Amino acid sequence: METSAHWGTYPVEVSPDGREVVAAKPQDVDAAPAIGNVVSGNRHRSRVTRPAVRRQWLEDGPGPRDRGPDDFVEVGWDTALGLLSQELERVRSRFGNQAIFGGSYGWGSAGRLHHAQSQLHRFLNSVGGYTSSINDYSRGASIVLLPHLVGPRTALDLRYKPASWADVVEHTDLLVSFGGVRRSNTWVVPGGHERHIGSAHARSVGRTTEVVFLSAQRDDAFEDIGAEWIGVMPATDTAVLLALIHVLVVDGLADDEFLARYTVGADEVRRYVLGDADGVAKTPEWASRISRTPAPVIRDLAHRMAAGRTLINVVYALQRGEGGEQPVFAALTLAAFLGQIGLPGGGFAHGFGSMGDYGVGVAGSRLPTFPQGVNPVPDFIPCARISDMLLHPGEEIPYDGGTLRFPEVKLAYWAGGNPFHHHQDLKRLREALSRLDTFVVHETHWTPTARHADVVLPVATTLEREDVAAGAGDSRLRVVPRVVEPLGEAREEFWIYAELAGRLGSDFTEGLDSRQWLERIYEEWRAAPGSPPAPPFAEFWRDGGVDLPQDPYRDTAFAEFRDGAPLGTPSGRIELWTPLTGHTSPPSGGARPASSTCTCCATSRPTACTASWTWATRASRRRWPVGSPSG
Ligand SMILES: Nc1nc2c(c(=O)[nH]1)N[C@H]1C(S)=C(S)[C@@H](COP(=O)(O)OP(=O)(O)OC[C@H]3O[C@@H](n4cnc5c(=O)[nH]c(N)nc54)[C@H](O)[C@@H]3O)O[C@H]1N2
Ligand SMILES: Nc1nc2c(c(=O)[nH]1)N[C@H]1C(S)=C(S)[C@@H](COP(=O)(O)OP(=O)(O)OC[C@H]3O[C@@H](n4cnc5c(=O)[nH]c(N)nc54)[C@H](O)[C@@H]3O)O[C@H]1N2
Ligand SMILES: [Mo]
């Protein structure tokens, strides 16, 4: 029997007594070794097996308190659901639905129906809505930045239609990656893939293309890719990038024709790297003092880049820190100075080695989706502002060229994420959570987040429920069968929300159980225009899945632009500079963006989030990472 995780597809067996799951030998030659932990974790003693309520909350009622690891009282489902529905009712009727935070960032587990966030959002929408969160921790800065530089559609294409591994093999002479092209990272895809393909691609690239990666770690790239390592201090890549531009400008290697035709602001960049703007020439010697990358290495790299078809890749990690938008901006600028943006296998990429679905070269099919309904509450935060929101209710912050006011939240509801794993400054997070009246967590395991909750509800794992799974560009929509019964009193979240909705007088299920919903989302997907040929549900289930078409995408991001189609930026070109006075309006026109993030959300201080996303602005305020690796 095969199951699915974000880590991929893998076979499992069940012990003769039907209770334990046993990992079987994977057919996937590139299977992630960590997959074994999923199986051994399924019956681990850290599983949440019964609903549990913080004793103090139970005895003294909802209210702000230090949510340390004090004791929990296990209660029956009826008691837990009764208490929780009462509390949800109290908060929504007394304070309004915006006092419920349901952002609930996190990956949960693979599966299209039992997607933890979709389920929670559908439930909260059914009871009047919630304060939501947008964007992510993965590309928090670049999701907001790139639409301003290249337009919203091209920014999206850079994620889903970048130069592919196959393009690199065929066209790229030199792939320069800022950050390691890690094998381990490509094991993971949202929704998982039928088979891991990263290593095979890396082997091909290793045979055809010179690969150079800049990183603090020597062993930071696929072994097979045969990459050359250049050491750089973390968070100093922007200095190296500016020095590379400096060399191109000074040595006459910049593609002035491309810059004139396809970009705005190149003259300002030239003046900036030459030091006309601030008296500091961004020479390789200047950069080497900051980055510890030797100046001759930088100079040589610039010449190698200009000598053939070069693709510049920036891994996600670089933008996940203060000032993290700068290396992304500077790398795009460098690619513009090389003039190869939009040529096959050349230009700029942002994700090789960060995610297994990056550059697979296949146009992703639409996938079955559990409908979430409509959220009438307009309040939202960039997801990484959780502590700021709780500590500073009512305060305004600049966000993506506009202003955002933090709502006053009384109850946070988390399902499928672990903020004590993913957030910064955990002491501050703990202080922030102490301001809540109530913190609800659905978990499979007693994570640190669960231990900080007031109400902890035990949920069934992927191995304990039925679902369907696939990732973007996947070769198969897979059946995810129930392998064992839920442990202890763990339940499907679908059941939990159905029960709560019943108590609160709303409709979560539309009269269907989770198996019927599975069939419904599958059949709706099958009937939708543009879906690939697929059999009826019963046949699909019996066959264990259906193959998805592997149509290669024709035009990569920027291909049409190179052919003359304008970008979705105000100038229609790549914007390398923005006047220091005033920001261009966000692509959304100031309204809530469908999906994007705060430039500074990786920092968690409102004062650091200035929506000043040009590195020119940053530099002028002397926020440059000069001298210290952490900036
Ligand atoms: N220091 C540092 N912090 C980081 C990063 C970093 O590089 N360094 N990376 C950041 C990034 S890019 C990301 S994406 C985040 C990841 O942050 P998270 O997505 O929060 O991390 P996970 O540990 O995968 O949390 C998922 C949780 O969901 C639970 N779970 C699984 N299935 C289900 C389910 O069906 N229902 C429910 N209710 N729960 C379920 C799991 O037990 C687990 O605790 O971390 C971010 N934080
Ligand atoms: N095995 C595994 N794979 C995963 C995940 C996982 O949890 N486990 N999470 C997935 C998720 S949610 C995401 S968002 C992606 C994250 O993908 P990334 O953000 O790309 O992954 P990281 O491993 O954090 O960073 C990649 C490499 O960048 C280098 N690096 C870090 N900072 C700097 C810097 O300032 N300069 C330079 N030059 N190099 C730097 C580090 O050496 C690191 O090995 O990974 C995905 N893949
Ligand atoms: Mo991520």
Average pLDDT of span 275-289: 95
- 319 & 173 share domain: yes
Q: Which residues surround ligand 3, an ion (CB under 5 A)?
A: 138
In a domain, 227, yes or no: yes
Locate the ligand 2 atom nearest the alpha carbon of residue 214 and give its number.
38
Ligand number nearest CA of 105 is 1
pLDDT at 615 over 50: no
pLDDT, tens digit, for every residue of 128-148?
999 999 999 999 999 999 999
- 281 & 203 share domain: yes
> How many angstroms separate the CA atoms of 155 and 158, rounded?
5
pLDDT value, residue 159: 95
Q: Is the CB of 105 under 6 A from ligand 2?
A: no
Ligand number nearest CA of 319 is 2
The pTM (predicted TM-score) of the whole model is 0.92
pLDDT at 202 over 70: yes
- 147 & 116 share domain: no
CATH code (residue 101): 3.40.50.740
Helix or strand holding residue 134 (H, E): strand 132-134
Confidence band of 611 (pLDDT split at 50, 70, 90):
very low
In a domain, 282, yes or no: yes
Q: Ligand 2 pocket check: which of 354, 423, 424 to mutate, most ligand atoms within 8 Å of Cβ?
A: 354
Least confident stretch, 67-71, 196-200, 563-567, 625-629: 625-629
pLDDT value, residue 621: 28
Average pLDDT of span 85-102: 98
- 118 & 83 share domain: yes
> How many angstroms separate the CA atoms of 319 and 384, rounded?
14
The 52-54 sheet, strands edge to edge: 72-74, 52-54, 455-458, 438-443, 411-415, 100-101
Answer yes or no: are the C-beta atoms of 304 and 319 closer than 8 Å: no
Q: Ligand 1 pocket check: which of 46, 422, 425, 449 to mutate, most ligand atoms within 8 Å of Cβ?
A: 422
How remote is the CA of residue 138 from the centroid of ligand 3, in Å? 4
- 275 & 398 share domain: no
pLDDT at 609 over 60: no
Q: What are phi and psi of 276, to 5 degrees?
A: -60, -30
Contacts with 56 (C-beta within 8 Å, 6 or more apart), sequence order: 65, 70
Least confident stretch, 12-26, 208-222, 456-470: 12-26
- 254 & 342 share domain: yes
- 233 & 313 share domain: yes
pLDDT value, residue 579: 55
- Per the prediction, the chain carries an average pLDDT of 90
Helix or strand holding residue 298 (H, E): helix 295-307
- Annotation says 105 is catalytic: yes
Helix or strand holding residue 382 (H, E): strand 380-382
Average pLDDT of span 593-620: 31
How remote is the CA of residue 316 from the centroid of ligand 3, in Å? 8
Which residue out of 105, 262, 446, 522 is catalytically annotated? 105
pLDDT at 538 over 70: yes
- 153 & 118 share domain: no
Average pLDDT of span 493-497: 98
Which of 445, 479, 509 is the last residue before a domain boundary? 509
Instruction: Give me the amino acid identity at 579.
Output: P
Contacts with 54 (C-beta within 8 Å, 6 or more apart), sequence order: 67, 70, 71, 72, 73, 453, 454, 455
Q: Dig out the tokens for 163 from the structure.
A: 């130069």
- 145 & 126 share domain: no
Locate the ligand 1 atom nearest the alpha carbon of residue 445 and give its number.
42
For 296, counting Cβ atoms within 10 Å of its Cβ (0-12 exposed, 13-18 middle, 19+ buried), the class is exposed
Residues in the chain: 631
Which of 241, 261, 263, 255 lies closest to 312 in space, CA to CA?
241
- 80 & 172 share domain: no
In a domain, 497, yes or no: yes
Which of 349, 368, 396 is the last residue before a domain boundary? 349
Helix or strand holding residue 461 (H, E): none
pLDDT, tens digit, for every residue of 334-393?
999 999 999 999 999 999 999 999 999 998 889 999 999 999 999 999 999 999 999 999
Instruction: Give me the amino acid identity at 303.
Output: H
How remote is the CA of residue 383 from the centroid of ligand 1, in Å? 13
pLDDT value, residue 610: 31
Q: Which domain holds residue 280?
A: 141-349
pLDDT at 595 over 70: no
Which residue out of 7, 57, 107, 446 is catalytically annotated? 107
In a domain, 550, yes or no: no
Locate the ligand 2 atom nearest the alpha carbon of residue 317 and give its number.
19
> How many angstroms separate the CA atoms of 232 and 240, rounded?
8
- 502 & 391 share domain: yes
Q: Is the CB of 177 under 6 A from ligand 2?
A: no
Locate the ligand 2 atom nearest the alpha carbon of residue 139 and give its number.
14
Q: Is the CB of 216 under 6 A from ligand 2?
A: yes
Tracing tokens 């693979």 back to the chain, one arrives at 110
CATH code (residue 156): 3.40.228.10
- The percentage of residues in the chain with a pLDDT greater than 90, rounded to a whole number, is 83
- The percentage of residues in the chain with a pLDDT greater than 70, rounded to a whole number, is 91
Q: How many domains does the chain have?
A: 2
pLDDT value, residue 26: 81
- Give the distance from CA 77 to its chain's centroid: 34
Closest CA to ligand 2's atom 19: 317
- Range of 106-120, 194-208, 573-587 with top mean pLDDT: 106-120
Q: Which has the higher per-residue pLDDT, 62 or 224?
A: 62
Locate the ligand 2 atom nearest the alpha carbon of residue 186 and give its number.
47
What are the distances in angstroms from CA 53 to CA 50, 60, 86, 442, 457?
10, 12, 14, 12, 9
In a domain, 447, yes or no: yes
SS3 at position 91: helix
In a domain, 406, yes or no: yes
pLDDT, tens digit, for every residue of 164-193?
999 999 999 999 999 999 999 999 999 999
pLDDT, tens digit, for every residue of 440-479?
999 999 999 999 999 999 999 999 999 999 999 999 999 9
In a domain, 418, yes or no: yes
- 158 & 250 share domain: yes
Q: Dig out the tokens for 353 from the structure.
A: 């080695």
Instruction: Give me the amino acid identity at 220.
Output: D
Helix or strand holding residue 587 (H, E): none
In a domain, 360, yes or no: no
Taking CB atoms and a 6 Å cutoff, what residues make up the pocket around ligand 1?
106-109, 114, 116, 137-138, 320, 415-418, 421-422, 442-445, 447, 459, 493
Q: Dig out the tokens for 431 from the structure.
A: 């202080």
